[in-house]
Amino acid sequence: MESKKFYITTAIPYMNAKLHLGQIYEFIVTDIVARFNRLLGRDTYFLTGSDEHGQKIEKSAKDKGVSSQDYVDTMVKDMKRLLEVYNISNDSYIRTTDKAHEKVVQNILIKLNENGDLYKSTYEGDYCVPCETFLTEGQLVDGKCPECGRDVEHVEEENYFFKLSEYGQKLIDHIEKNPDFIIPETRKNEVLGLLKQGLKDISVSRTAVEWGVPIPFDSKHYCYVWVDALINYISALGYSSEDSSLFEKYWPADQQHIGKDILKFHAVIWPAILMSLGVDLPKHVVVHGWLLMGKEKLSKSKGITLDPDEIAEKYGIDGVRYFLTRELSFGQDGSFTDPAFIKRYNADLSNDIGNLVSRTLAMIEKYRESVIPAKVKSPDFEKAWEDTKSVALELMGQFKISECLIKVWEFVNKANKHIEDSQPWTLAKSSEQKDIDKLDAVLYEVAESIRLSALILIPFMPTSCQKILDQLGIEKKTGDIRLEADGIWGSFDGNTKTGERKILFPRIEDK
Ligand code: ME8
C-alpha cells in the first residue's frame, strides 16, 4: 500500500552569496511536488535550510570584516525572504549553525568512530574552496577544479578519514535492488560507473578551518562541511535527540532533490554514512540539471547572474514558476532568456488560460447575469477530464513535469476550441429554446473546465489559481484544498454566482 506520509528535501544552499535563480529553480520544483502531495491528501513534510559552515563562508565573512555568525545570520534572513517571495511552502527550515543540529552531527561522529569507520591519517592534496571539495591530482583539469574551473589550494593536514571504500559493493547492491533509488537513469548510471571504479576513503575533518562543528573526541578537529551539511536531512527530524518523533514518522525521505553537481555527495557519501549508522536510505535521490542563462552557466564572478528579485519584479512569481517547469525538461539543463520567457508567458498564460478565464466570465456576466448555468451532463467532457487528470498525475509521478503541463494545456485549449466552435455570441442572439439550452451547456462546460484546470494547477501557480477560483465564486483557499477528501475535485453543480473579475496574466509587450 502506498505510504501516506511524504518527506521531501532540497539541498541546503551555501550562505556565502545571495541566492540566484538556479537555486530558486530547485525550490520551485520541490515546492510543486510538495504541494501536489498535500493536495492529494498525503501527510507532507517539506524541508529546506541553509549550509552555514566551512572555509568558503569563513572567508566571505572575513572579507566583509564581520564575524562568521553575523554574516550567516544576515544571509539566512535574505534566503528566508526569498522563499516567501517565491511562495515556497516549506514546513521547516534547518540551519547548520542551530545548536540542535550541531549536537546531532557530534552524536553521529561519535557513532561512526565507535563503529570503527573513522581513522586518523594525513591528507595531502588539493582543496577547492568554492566547491568545498578535496581533490586528488588526477582529478584536476589544467591544474584547476574539474567542477567549477577555479584555482585550488594545496592542503597538507592531519584529518579523520571515513572508510568510504568499504561501502562500494553495498552501494552497488542497493542501487541494483532499488533501480529507482537515483532518478533519472542517466544519473544512476553515472553513480554506478563511479562505484565500479572503486571508492577511496574520504576526509571528514579539517584542522585549518575553525568555522564548523568541533569533533567531540578531538578538540583540534572540526567536521568537514559536507558531512555536517548532509546530516541536516535527519537532524531536522530530531535523529538521536530527545524528541525523535519526527524522525520516526517521516524518515526515510521519499524524495531528496539535488542538482547534478552534488550527485556524489548524495548518492555515494550520504548513503554510506547512513549505512554505517544502520539508518534506512532515502527512497529516491532526484537529480535536476542546470539552469543556464542563454548557453552560459550562472556565475557571479563572470557576471552571469539571474537575480531572483529582479526577475520576480519584472515578471511575477507564478509566471516564473510556470516558465521554469514548462520550459525546462526536468533532469536536463535548460535556459532562461527574456525573449523565451515573454513568448511562453504571452502564449500560454496571457492567451490560452488568461483569455479563456476572462472571456468566459465576461460571457457569463453578459448572458446569464453572472450565474454559472446548472450542470449539464456530458459523457464526452467527463471522459476528456478523466483522461487529462489521470495522465497528468501519472506524468508528475514520473517527474515529466513539462509533459504534465502540456497535457493540462490540451484540456485548456479544448475549452477554447469549444467556445470558437459553438459561438456563444451567436447563440445568445437566438430566442429558440435549443439555442438557449446549448448556450447554458457551453458556459457550464467551459466554466467547469476552468475550475478543474485551476485545481490541478494549484501546485504550479498557487496565487493565480486562487484568483481563478475566487472569480468562479468558489469559496475555498487553495492551500486548504485536499482534492479527494473535499469532494471539490469531482464535478460541480453550477447555478452559482461568479466572483469579481480580475486580470490574471497581463500581456507583456515585447520591446
Ligand atoms: O551545493 N541551476 O550549495 P549550493 C540549477 N551547500 N540548480 C543549481 C544551479 C543552477 N544554475 N546552481 C546551483 C551546495 N544549483 C551545498 C549543498 S546539501 C547537504 C549541501 C543547485 O548553494 C545545486 O545543484 O552550491 C544544489 O542542489 C543547490 O542549488 C544548492 O547549491
Residue 466 belongs to domain with CATH number: 1.10.730.10
- Tens-place pLDDT, residues 174-195: 999 999 999 999 999 999 999 9
Mutate to test the pocket of ligand 1, among 261, 264, 297 (most ligand atoms within 8 A of CB): 261
Cα–Cα distance for residue pair 286/397, rounded to 1 Å: 12
For ligand 1, atom 29, name the residue with the nearest CA: 23
Cis link prior to 146 (omega < 30° from 0)? no
- The CATH number of residue 148's host domain is 3.40.50.620
418 shares a domain with 348: yes
Q: In which domain, by residue range, is 435 found?
A: 338-486
Ligand 1: distance of its center to the CA of 343 in Å? 28
> CB within 6 Å of ligand 1 — which residues?
11-14, 22-23, 25-26, 51, 229-230, 232, 258-259, 261-262, 290-291, 298
Ligand 1: distance of its center to the CA of 203 in Å? 21
pLDDT higher than 50, residue 1:
no
Mutate to test the pocket of ligand 1, among 262, 264, 269, 333 (most ligand atoms within 8 A of CB): 262
Ligand 1: distance of its center to the CA of 126 in Å? 22
Selection from 509, 389, 402 nearest residue 449 by Cα: 389
Ligand 1: distance of its center to the CA of 23 in Å? 6
* Within-domain flag for 425: yes
* Within-domain flag for 274: yes
CA distances to 41, 53, 436 from 374, in Å: 29, 61, 13
For ligand 1, atom 30, name the residue with the nearest CA: 13
Task: From the CA of 259, give the closest atom in ligand 1.
Answer: 24
Selection from 61, 67, 106 nearest residue 227 by Cα: 106
Ligand 1: distance of its center to the CA of 420 in Å? 46
Q: What is the pLDDT of residue 301?
A: 62
pLDDT higher than 80, residue 433:
yes
Task: From the CA of 233, give the closest atom in ligand 1.
Answer: 19
305 shares a domain with 425: no
Ligand 1: distance of its center to the CA of 153 in Å? 22
Cα–Cα distance for residue pair 159/220, rounded to 1 Å: 10
- Tens-place pLDDT, residues 92-141: 999 999 999 999 999 999 999 999 999 999 999 899 998 999 998 788 99
Percentage of residues in the chain having pLDDT higher than 70: 98
pLDDT higher than 60, residue 241:
yes
* Within-domain flag for 496: no
* Within-domain flag for 62: yes
262 shares a domain with 367: no
Number of domains in the chain: 2
Please return the burial class of 233, using the count of CB atoms within 10 Å of its CB with bins 0-12, 13-18 and 19+: buried
Task: From the CA of 258, give the closest atom in ligand 1.
Answer: 27
Ligand 1: distance of its center to the CA of 13 in Å? 6
Which long-range contacts link 57-64 to residues 24+ away (Cβ below 8 Å)?
57/14, 57/15, 57/16, 57/211, 58/209, 58/210, 58/211, 59/16, 59/129, 60/16, 60/17, 61/211
358 shares a domain with 229: no
Amino acid at residue number 341? F
Task: From the CA of 232, give the closest atom in ligand 1.
Answer: 19
166 shares a domain with 270: yes
* Within-domain flag for 248: yes
Ligand 1: distance of its center to the CA of 301 in Å? 16
Radius of gyration of the chain (CA): 26
346 shares a domain with 285: no
User: What DSSP character marks residue 157?
Assistant: E
Residue 484 pLDDT grade (very low, low, confident, very high; cuts 50, 70, 90): confident
Cis link prior to 379 (omega < 30° from 0)? no
Residue 390 pLDDT grade (very low, low, confident, very high; cuts 50, 70, 90): very high
240 shares a domain with 207: yes
For ligand 1, atom 7, name the residue with the nearest CA: 22
* Cell digits of residue 114: 565507535
pLDDT higher than 80, residue 3:
no
- Tens-place pLDDT, residues 294-349: 888 777 667 788 999 999 999 999 999 999 999 999 999 999 999 999 999 999 99
* Cell digits of residue 181: 533509488
| Neighbour-count burial for 473-490, b at 16+ CB within 10 Å, e otherwise | bbeeebeebebeeeebbe
* Cell digits of residue 195: 562505484
Amino acid at residue number 173? D
Ligand 1: distance of its center to the CA of 424 in Å? 51
For ligand 1, atom 23, name the residue with the nearest CA: 259
